[in-house]
């Protein structure tokens, strides 16, 4: 923090005053820190409290904190097979097309894969899939709507990808469509998800 910024902070905190003893330095530092952490947030906090008081919510809240805790405190939801499957919206090709037939087979394998993870048959976790797809390690308090799409197009090498891909900015999980066996699908899905986690496009 440069001198002019520090002077501005001290001025806003009302602590811009002459220093006569070393005890004054400690006192000014403590009061400035207290203002910086608590004082700046006070108007917003007071407005929030006034809003809650308007219809008696504040009184109910203080008398029954355990009842209101879920509404005000976020507790990450434990992901299950059912929750993971329902979390993703699937974008399929038109019914009756060759792509739709392939996608149905891939979705069947995806469903089995999710069930295997829940039963402990794979080293991957549902949170690992979520992180790979969205860059979020747990379901956030604000809802997210990840989607599943399919890797029908060939890559630069001329072949379709064996591994899943993701766009974490758009919350899209791309599933490969090239596998002829469930075992190959599982091996490449697990390898791709465990080795491709990160922000952006995996």
Which CATH number fits the domain that encloses residue 123? 3.30.2410.10
- Is residue 182 one of the residues assigned to a domain? yes
pLDDT of residue 132: 94
Asked if 128 and 98 sit in the same domain, the reply is: yes
Counting residues of the chain whose pLDDT is more than 90, the rounded percentage is 50
Asked if 65 and 147 sit in the same domain, the reply is: no
Is the full-model pTM beyond 0.85? no
Higher pLDDT, 48 or 36: 48
Which residues, other chains included, contact 86 with Cβ-Cβ below 8 Å and sequence gap of 6+? none
Asked if 68 and 85 sit in the same domain, the reply is: no
If you average pLDDT over residues 111-116, what whole number do you get?
96
pLDDT of residue 178: 95
Which alpha helices (DSSP H) does the chain contain, by range? 3-12, 22-34, 42-54, 57-63, 65-72, 81-87, 98-118, 126-134, 182-195
Domain of 55 in residue numbering reads as 5-72
Element (H, E) at 150: strand 147-151
pLDDT of residue 114: 96
pLDDT of residue 1: 63
pLDDT of residue 113: 96
198 pLDDT more than 60: no
**Considering 52, 72, 92, which residue would you say is the last residue of a domain?**
72
């Amino acid at each position: 923090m440069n001198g002019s910024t520090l002077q501005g902070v001290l001025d806003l905190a009302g602590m811009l005053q002459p220093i006569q003893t070393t005890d004054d330095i400690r006192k000014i530092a403590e009061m400035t820190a207290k203002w910086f952490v608590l004082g700046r947030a006070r108007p917003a906090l007071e407005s929030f409290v006034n809003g809650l008081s308007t219809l008696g919510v504040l009184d109910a809240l203080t008398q029954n904190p355990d009842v209101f805790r879920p509404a005000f405190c976020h507790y990450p939801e434990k992901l299950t097979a059912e929750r993971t499957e329902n979390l993703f919206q699937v974008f399929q090709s038109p019914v009756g097309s060759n792509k739709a037939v392939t996608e149905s087979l891939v979705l069947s394998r995806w469903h089995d894969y999710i069930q295997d993870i829940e039963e402990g048959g794979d080293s991957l976790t549902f949170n690992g899939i979520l992180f790979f797809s969205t860059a979020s390690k747990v379901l956030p308090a604000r809802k997210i709507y990840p989607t599943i799409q399919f890797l029908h197009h060939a890559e630069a090498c001329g072949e379709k990808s064996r591994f899943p891909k993701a766009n974490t900015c758009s919350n899209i999980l791309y599933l490969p469509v090239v596998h002829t066996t469930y075992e190959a699908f599982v091996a490449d899905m697990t390898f791709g998800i465990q080795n491709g986690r990160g922000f952006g496009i995996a």
